[in-house]
Every structure is written in C-alpha cells, then in structure tokens.
Amino acid sequence: MNKLYPLKFNPILKERLWGGTKLAEQLHKPSTSDITGESWELSGVKGDVSEVSNGEFRGATLNELIERWGPELLGKSVIEQFGKEFPILIKFIDAKQDLSIQLHPNDELAKSRHNSFGKTEMWYIMDADEDANLIVGFNQPMTREKYIESIENKTLLQYMNYEKVEAGDTFFINTGKIHAIGAGVLLAEIQQTSDVTYRVYDFDRRDKDGNLRELHTDLALDAIDFKQKDDFKVKYERTANKINPMVSCPYFKTNFMELQSDLTQNTAERDSFTIYMCVEGRAEIANEAGSESIRNGETILLPANSKIITIQTSGCKLLEVVL
C-alpha cells in the first residue's frame, strides 16, 4: 500500500542583500525580516535539506525519506540518473533590489571545481512592478577580450540585454548565460540542485558590515557563453484545464496548468516524482495515500508511486515539475 501521501515542507528562508518583504506579504512566508530574498521550498542541498511539515512524516528530512523509500519516492529512472541526491531545487525569489550579474557553470565544470551539479534553471514571473526587468544575455556579439575590458572598466552594463517582464512570463537560463533578476520581480525558480554561482558584477554594493561582496571574475571566464542568443524567453500555451508544456530539458520538465475545475491524472506510468508549485489561487491535491491543500506560494511533492493524482479546485495556476 502506498503510504507516501502528498508532502509539504517547511520553507527555508534566506536573507539577501537585495531581498524584500513580498515573500511574507504575498506568499505568507513566516518571515519578519525586510530583506528576505529566497524561500527554498524543496531542497536536498547539504546544510539546507527540507523537512516535512505535514502528516505522519512531519519533521523527517527529504533525505531521510529518500533513504527509506528510494525509487518509490523518486522513481527508478531518477535513481539511476542521479542516485539518491534530490536533483531539483525549488524556490520563490523576491528581488527588492537588482541581483548581482552572474552565471552558473555546466555540469562538467561544477563537478571538477565544486563536486556539484551545474545549474540550469527556469523562472516563472509571479508578480512584477511596473517597468521591472531582467538581464538575460548580451545585447550584441561579445568576445572574451571585450568582456574582460568591460569588467575592468566597469562598463559591463552597456552590453547587457534587458527584458521587461510581467506576470506569466517564463525564462529558461542555461548554464553559461549571464543574467540577473531585476528589482521589483517576484518569481518561482526551478533549477538543478546546486548552489554554485559566479558573481561578476554587483553594482559596488556593500553588505551590512560595509564589505563588498566577493566576485568570481576568473572562475566565470571559463564558464561564460559569449555568444549573443535569443533563446531564453519561453513561449507556451495557456489553455485552461489542460496540461501545457513549458520547458523540457535533461534536468526537469515543467508544465503550466490553469485549472478552473477539477482534474484527474493517471500517473501509473510516470517513473518520476511530481512537484506542484501554486502560483495563484488554491487547490486540494490527492493521491491514493491522502490529500493536502495548496495555495499561492506553496509547494507539494507527490511520490513516484502515485498512480492517480487528483486536483480539486475552483481556480488555481500550478507549475507541474517532473523528471
């Protein structure tokens, strides 16, 4: 019998120099800080492993569940590919100020330098102030030499590509792509399990102790993709009461679901866990072992051995993530 019911986890809140208050005010996170930048919803990152917040397994860590249930929780194919390390990190991010301009290494570099996965990620914009934007890629062809000169002369910003955003916009950020989340953006982030970031420009900001944050100029040089590419904004259907594919890559597949009524899925052949991030409204999500409510700003993990998943709602928007 399937004992693995829909699992919710305590958010892991992260103060950031650029953070704000929207995670508490809009997504109901238990934060009293005015610089909360991230809520890690589902994490297997060492030192920040998620703990169950509901039901029989309340207080157990994600890693303890994986150790006990293995393929029943993750899926046999997931175990074969990633072992017992949870391969996805799920976050909500509130940028009150611009994030640093940064990029992430690929799997090969991250493994050799940090014994980590690389960091491919995607963003779904939940809310954006008027004229809020992202930096994604370059606005012109770049060379290594021109890039180094722009870092030395602090002229990097003039080569950055700015994208104005609004709720519902979605972006796929592959490894090596230079990027930054702009001030006034609240988003959902789905990424490989990795906390490796190469920061290349930080607007000369200082932390609470008056120190400049570390830059990773040399490390970034071998990781950066200098090509100008228009490959980051995701076009996807938003048909109501349907499962609309958004992103499909080797590390995760994400679907968009705008539900105005109940939905039942037969997932008996799905050899993967399923994650739902609620980005608007509320719903009740169930498998054979139980049900759990979810509302805007919450995340639920369904085990791979769920044969039927039912979603009861009178109105919600969900991101469905599988491997």
Which of 43, 50, 45, 19 lies closest to 32 in space, CA to CA? 19
The amino acid that residue 303 corresponds to is: P
Which residue, among 185, 173, 148, 158, has the nearest Cα to 229 in the 3D structure?
Answer: 173
The answer to whether 216 is annotated as binding is no
Rounded CA gap, 127 and 315, in Å? Answer: 18
104 assigned to a ligand binding site = yes
DSSP 150-178: HHHHT-GGGGEEEEE--TT-EEEE-TT--
* Structure-block tokens of residue 13: 């809140």
Cα 202 to Cα 275: distance, rounded to the nearest angstrom: 33
The number of C-alpha atoms within 13 Å of 236 and in the hemisphere containing its C-beta is 25
Two tokens, residue 244: 């609309």
d(CA 154, CA 238): 41
Residue 114 marked as a ligand binder: no
Q: Which residues are catalytic?
A: 199
Which whole-number Å values give the CA distances from 116 to 140, 151, 165, 216, 284, in the listed order?
31, 27, 31, 17, 35
Is residue 90 within 8 Å of 42, Cβ to Cβ?
yes
Q: Is the Cβ–Cβ distance between 183 and 131 less than 8 Å?
A: no
Please state, in angstroms and rounded to a whole number, the distance separating the CA atoms of residues 93 and 78. 27
- DSSP assignment string, 279-323: EEEEEEEEETTEEEEEETT-EEEE-TT-SEEEEEEEEEEEEEEE-
Residues annotated as binding site for Zn(2+)?
Answer: 104, 121, 179
Residues annotated as binding site?
Answer: 104, 121, 179
